[in-house]
């Protein structure tokens, strides 16, 4: 997850400090998933209660440290285990686990965008984050088994490092024996200092697990703790309610969705990745993903991340305040008419920027003039930053002009529109704010998944903090560019999963979405 933390680092003063820091943490975690194929973001505080065979509340477990939360067991056969999540300002969802015998409690992000479990170690001496969070003490556990294998997870702006250990891990009412996890001995930077959570419990595939450690979810199945190879999320977007959400291992809770789920197959094991169709703004197709994009469902990301090209169009449509990109405006001023003429002459769009000299063409897409081959790492190191920016600006302008030509706009209006989009480009740190008073005028933004259109209304994609004149509104969209062949990639974080109940069907390798209830 994704995604929102980075966004606010650059202009934290614009927003509530508490919310800004929370968003920054989440984005760093999300971004890391793509930088190093491992990552996490959010935090969940949770307690459990049991239900009888009719799903009635049966018991309450008290926490000495914070207000008790509820968790349930569905049915009386142990077929499913439900963990109730805590929601912090719609930006962090976190829950409680325990490691060792007797149990040592930690709050973790249940993150479908990574696959390892890690918590701070008692052997972490020099990282501030370790001083501010509970630490695992192996000497106090009778079920601890020494492992010692070194481990490191690298994030976009930070990292954790430590070593593997084995111990019993308790999640809800389930006790997973001999679980391999990471004791973090180094947590540099501010990311984990300000985090609400202590660690991360990954729910991704083993293919992206550091050290190829079996994820907790795999061992739940292997040890027969869960019968059905399915887990599901319901995230409550009302941050004022005590019950922040629900994570069900072994099934779904029919009380938290409407109708039937739309399922799409996992296209690449690692993340919960699938194919996504076109993106619509106010019901109008953008054409950006009409030939297909990839997306992942990521519970560890707060916002909804996508390619800068399309996020900029969304920012323009919703009136989000970004940072003016002079490079973009320069490219449009010098080459906008040329791009438009080439498109009208039916030149292949992917070759236009190389044809006018701003990019080279590698057979599938434009690349910076400073890089002869996308696989030539030595040349890539010599890439010119200005050249990269001009190439990227040109490629975005091609997409933007294409979208307007489909709507039969005049050439003058098209070029003015593209210049306006340049002004809506997110800053390097991604932040964007919107006017709370204009929510009713903002368009619906829709994603096409499995042939079905999934709508997000303004009140669903805007994070609103406070009420009245002090209210602050933050766009739920953030730019994140992932190059082919893995990209263009969308990260459907909590903004999307809050609207749509999400099922992760491990047995059939598919992801399902239905309107949350």
Nearest to residue 118, comparing CAs of 97, 139, 88? 97
Instruction: Give just the sign of the alpha carbon dihedral 286, 417, 352, 387.
Output: negative
Pairing relation of β-strands 199-202 and 104-111? Answer: parallel
- Report how far apart the first and last C-alpha atoms of the chain are (Å, whole number): 23
What's phi and psi for 236, nearest 5 deg?
-80, 120
Rounded Cα distance between 19 and 88, Å, is 9
User: How far from 158 is each of 179, 426, 508, CA to CA, in Å?
Assistant: 25, 22, 35
Query: What residues form DSSP beta bridges with 224?
Result: none
> Do residues 500 and 487 touch, judged by C-beta distance below 8 A?
no
Rounded Cα–Cα distance for residues 89 and 238 (Å): 8
298 is catalytic: yes
Phi, psi at 150, each rounded to 5°: -65, 150
Assigned token pair, 179: 């679980």
Q: Which of 39, 111, 278, 505 is catalytic?
A: 111
435 an active-site residue?
Answer: no
Q: What's the rounded Cα separation, in Å, for the pair 287 and 279? A: 7
Contact (Cβ atoms closer than 8 angstroms) between residue 275 and residue 292: yes
Q: Which stretches within 268-410 are classed as H helix? A: 308-318, 326-344, 352-355, 377-381, 385-406
Helix, strand, coil percentages (3-state) for the chain, rounded to 5, are 30, 30, 40
At what angle are helices 411-423 and 308-318 packed, to 10 degrees? 100
Distance CA 480, CA 304 (A): 10
Q: How many CB atoms lie within 10 A of CB 471?
A: 12
Catalytic residue among 39, 198, 298, 505: 298
C-alpha–C-alpha distance, residues 69 and 74, integer Å? 16
Determine the 3-state secondary structure of 51 from DSSP.
strand
Angle between the N-to-C axes of helices 308-318 and 385-406, in degrees from 0 to 180, rounded to the nearest 10? 60
177 three-state secondary structure:
strand
Catalytic residues: 111, 298
């Amino acid at each position: 997850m994704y995604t929102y933390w980075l966004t606010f680092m650059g202009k934290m003063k614009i927003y509530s400090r508490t919310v800004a820091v929370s968003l920054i943490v989440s984005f760093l975690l999300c971004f890391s998933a793509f930088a190093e194929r491992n990552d996490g973001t959010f935090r969940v505080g949770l307690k459990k209660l049991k239900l009888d065979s009719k799903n009635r509340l049966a018991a309450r477990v008290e926490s000495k440290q914070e207000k008790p939360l509820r968790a349930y067991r569905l049915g009386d056969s142990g077929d499913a285990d439900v963990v109730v999540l805590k929601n912090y300002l719609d930006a962090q969802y976190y829950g409680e686990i325990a490691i060792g015998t007797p149990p040592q409690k930690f709050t973790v992000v249940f993150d479908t965008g990574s696959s390892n479990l890690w918590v701070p170690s008692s052997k972490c001496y020099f990282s501030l984050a370790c001083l501010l969070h509970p630490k695992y003490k192996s000497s106090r556990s009778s079920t601890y088994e020494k492992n010692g294998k070194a481990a490191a997870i690298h994030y976009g702006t930070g990292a954790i490092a430590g070593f593997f250990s084995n111990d019993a891990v308790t999640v809800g009412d389930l006790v997973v024996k001999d679980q391999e996890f990471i004791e973090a001995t180094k947590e540099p930077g501010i990311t984990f200092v300000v985090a609400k959570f202590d660690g991360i419990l990954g729910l991704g595939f083993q293919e992206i697990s550091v050290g190829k450690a079996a994820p907790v979810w795999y061992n739940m199945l292997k040890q027969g703790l869960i019968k059905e190879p399915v887990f599901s999320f319901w995230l409550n977007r009302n941050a004022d309610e005590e019950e922040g959400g629900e994570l069900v291992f072994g099934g779904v809770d029919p009380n938290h969705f409407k109708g039937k789920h739309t399922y799409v197959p996992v296209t690449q094991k690692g993340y919960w990745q699938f194919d996504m169709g076109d993106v619509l703004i106010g019901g109008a197709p953008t054409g950006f993903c009409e030939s297909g994009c990839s997306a992942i469902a990521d519970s560890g990301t707060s916002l909804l991340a996508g390619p800068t090209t399309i996020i900029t169009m969304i920012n323009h449509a919703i009136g989000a305040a970004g940072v003016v990109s002079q490079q973009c405006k320069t490219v449009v001023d010098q080459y906008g008419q040329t791009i438009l003429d080439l498109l009208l002459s039916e030149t292949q769009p992917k070759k236009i920027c190389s044809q006018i000299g701003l990019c080279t063409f590698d057979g599938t897409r434009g690349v910076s003039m400073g890089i002869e081959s996308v696989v030539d790492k030595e040349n890539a190191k010599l890439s010119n930053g200005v050249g990269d920016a001009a190439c990227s600006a040109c490629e975005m302008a091609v997409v933007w002009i294409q979208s307007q030509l489909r709507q039969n706009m005049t050439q003058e209006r098209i070029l003015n529109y593209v210049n306006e989009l340049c002004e809506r480009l997110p800053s390097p740190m991604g932040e964007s704010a919107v006017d709370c008073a204009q929510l009713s005028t903002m368009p619906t933004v829709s994603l096409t998944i499995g042939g079905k259109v999934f709508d997000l209304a303004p009140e669903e994609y805007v994070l609103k903090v406070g009420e009245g004149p002090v209210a602050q509104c933050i766009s739920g969209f953030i730019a994140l560019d992932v190059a082919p062949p893995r990209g263009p990639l969308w990260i459907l974080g909590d903004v999307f999963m809050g609207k749509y109940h999400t099922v992760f069907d491990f047995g059939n390798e598919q992801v399902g979405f239905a309107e949350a209830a």
